[in-house]
């Protein structure tokens, strides 16, 4: 006997798909092509693993845990560590499997049909995707020509559409531009929307908005362990907001979303973050060095960045950005990110800071591609 339907009873896939929301069917999925490069500079990860001794301490703690038991209902050890690090009360903190999950949860409790979400673009694509999945309307506000935030246009769009949420990614992925304290406050004060401030890269530069949370119940700050904290593989992130709003967002979060490996590792890494601080400082210094060196290479426009990556446009008339991408990968073993399909980013690539040796390989490769045939 088999459960496979015979030809006559076989239904077309359309019978299932007609129940999927049209706004979802119209979307392209968030994806990333798999490559196995020698030097991987395409996902804004830390080039440095968590220090060996710290990992071993965490392994020993995990070995003691009963794997047959659920983790605690509230990830209180992790929340306590976040609370100590941020000086924000535990009932205003949610932890999750990466900040992705918190973007999803915040938008799940705020967005539905007829609800507007203001999104300055180009930016991280998940905001638009999750807005559409929830049936809301993404109101795109273009960055200025120099790819800085257009604060007046953001305010105008939020007021005109009576937006429920304004999403601000600062420093912004993939441009590297960030908002100042005053700019965040101007947007906050001129609108009555929730301000969802994604600070995934703030350890590398830009204004850290945690001090603004006090007394501002419409402000939500998201942070991740995937970049400066060197833990992308374990998936951890957190949200800071007023306790009343946090309790509402918590309703959209799945129970036991954080497994105890992640909870234990994230809490421990956070408590020992001074061990990671020199690595974070060296990544920011390398970002500045790559930026200065890239600016000397002809045919490129290199944008300033407060994050651990740099956006650049291939402007030389005879060189396609796809050729730069392919030759970096094939001839030099360096994988960067092609972001040319984002709005405003025609011919643009993004590279994240790696180790000094990785960055040298990238710079040598880029220099030779861009200067070949010159002179």
Smallest separation (angstroms) from ligand PMP to the CB of 100: 3
Smallest separation (angstroms) from ligand PMP to the CB of 316: 28
Residue 84 to residues 76, 79, 80, 225, Cα–Cα distance (Å): 12, 9, 6, 16
**E strands, the chain, where?**
39-40, 93-96, 116-121, 137-142, 165-169, 194-198, 219-224, 237-240, 300-302, 309-314, 334-335, 337-338, 348-352
DSSP letter assigned to residue 54 = H
Smallest separation (angstroms) from ligand PMP to the CB of 128: 13
Of 122 and 365, the one with the shorter C-beta distance to ligand PMP is 122
Binding site for ligand PMP (CB under 6 A): 44, 98-100, 124, 169, 173, 198, 200, 224, 226, 232, 237
* H/E element, 347: none
Smallest separation (angstroms) from ligand PMP to the CB of 48: 17
Smallest separation (angstroms) from ligand PMP to the CB of 98: 3
Smallest separation (angstroms) from ligand PMP to the CB of 267: 16
Q: At what angle do helices 126-133 and 99-110 cross, to 10 degrees?
A: 40
184 and 197 Cβ atoms separated by less than 8 Å: yes
Of 138 and 232, the one with the shorter C-beta distance to ligand PMP is 232
Of 111 and 197, the one with the shorter C-beta distance to ligand PMP is 197
For residues 119 and 154, what is the distance between their CA atoms, to the nearest angstrom?
A: 8
- Widest CA span of the chain, in angstroms? 74
Phi, psi angle pair for 113, to nearest 5°? -55, 135
Of 228 and 361, the one with the shorter C-beta distance to ligand PMP is 228
Smallest separation (angstroms) from ligand PMP to the CB of 105: 12
Cis omega (within 30 of 0) for bond into 133: no
Residue 48 to residues 90, 95, 356, Cα–Cα distance (Å): 30, 23, 11
For residues 236 and 262, what is the distance between their CA atoms, to the nearest angstrom?
A: 7
Of 98 and 122, the one with the shorter C-beta distance to ligand PMP is 98
Of 340 and 368, the one with the shorter C-beta distance to ligand PMP is 340
Of 98 and 354, the one with the shorter C-beta distance to ligand PMP is 98
Give which of 117, 120, 121, 126 is closest to 29, Cα–Cα: 126
As beta bridge partners, residue 94 has 239
Smallest separation (angstroms) from ligand PMP to the CB of 232: 6
Give which of 255, 266, 267 is closest to 73, Cα–Cα: 255
Of 44 and 116, the one with the shorter C-beta distance to ligand PMP is 44
Cis omega (within 30 of 0) for bond into 122: yes
As beta bridge partners, residue 137 has 116
Smallest separation (angstroms) from ligand PMP to the CB of 106: 12
Of 173 and 177, the one with the shorter C-beta distance to ligand PMP is 173
């Amino acid at each position: 006997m088999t459960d496979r339907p015979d030809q006559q009873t076989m239904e077309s896939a359309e019978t299932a798909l007609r129940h999927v929301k049209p706004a979802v069917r119209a979307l392209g999925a968030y994806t990333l092509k798999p490559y196995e490069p020698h030097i991987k500079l395409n996902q804004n990860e830390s080039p440095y693993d968590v220090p060996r001794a710290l990992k071993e301490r965490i392994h020993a703690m995990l070995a003691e845990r009963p794997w047959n038991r659920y983790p605690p209902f509230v990830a209180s050890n992790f929340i306590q560590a976040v609370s100590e690090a941020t000086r924000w009360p535990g009932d205003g903190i949610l932890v999750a499997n990466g900040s992705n999950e918190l973007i999803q949860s915040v938008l799940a409790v705020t967005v539905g049909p007829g609800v507007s979400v203001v999104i300055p673009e180009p930016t991280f694509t998940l905001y638009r995707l999750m807005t559409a999945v929830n049936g809301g309307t993404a109101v795109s506000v273009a960055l200025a020509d120099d790819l800085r935030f257009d604060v007046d246009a953001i305010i105008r769009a939020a007021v005109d559409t009576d937006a429920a949420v304004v999403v601000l990614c600062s420093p912004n992925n993939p441009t590297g531009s960030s908002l100042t304290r005053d700019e965040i406050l101007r947007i906050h004060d001129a609108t009555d929307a929730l301000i969802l401030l994604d600070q995934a890269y703030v350890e590398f530069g830009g204004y850290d908005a945690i001090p603004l949370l006090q007394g501002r119940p419409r402000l939500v700050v998201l942070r991740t362990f995937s970049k400066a904290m060197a833990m992308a593989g374990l998936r951890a992130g957190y949200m800071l907001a007023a306790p009343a709003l946090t309790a509402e967002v918590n309703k959209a979060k799945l129970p036991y979303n954080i497994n105890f490996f992640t909870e234990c590792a994230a809490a421990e890494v956070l408590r020992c973050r001074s061990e990671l601080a020199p690595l974070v400082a060296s990544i920011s210094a390398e970002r500045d060095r790559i930026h200065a060196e890239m600016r000397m290479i002809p045919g490129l426009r290199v944008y300033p960045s407060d994050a651990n990556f740099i956006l650049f446009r291939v402007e030389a008339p005879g060189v396609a950005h796809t050729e730069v991408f392919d030759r970096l990968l094939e001839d030099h073993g360096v994988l960067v990110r092609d972001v040319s399909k984002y709005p405003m980013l025609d011919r643009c690539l993004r590279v994240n800071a790696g180790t000094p040796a990785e960055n040298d390989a990238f710079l040598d490769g880029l220099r030779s591609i861009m200067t070949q045939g010159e002179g």
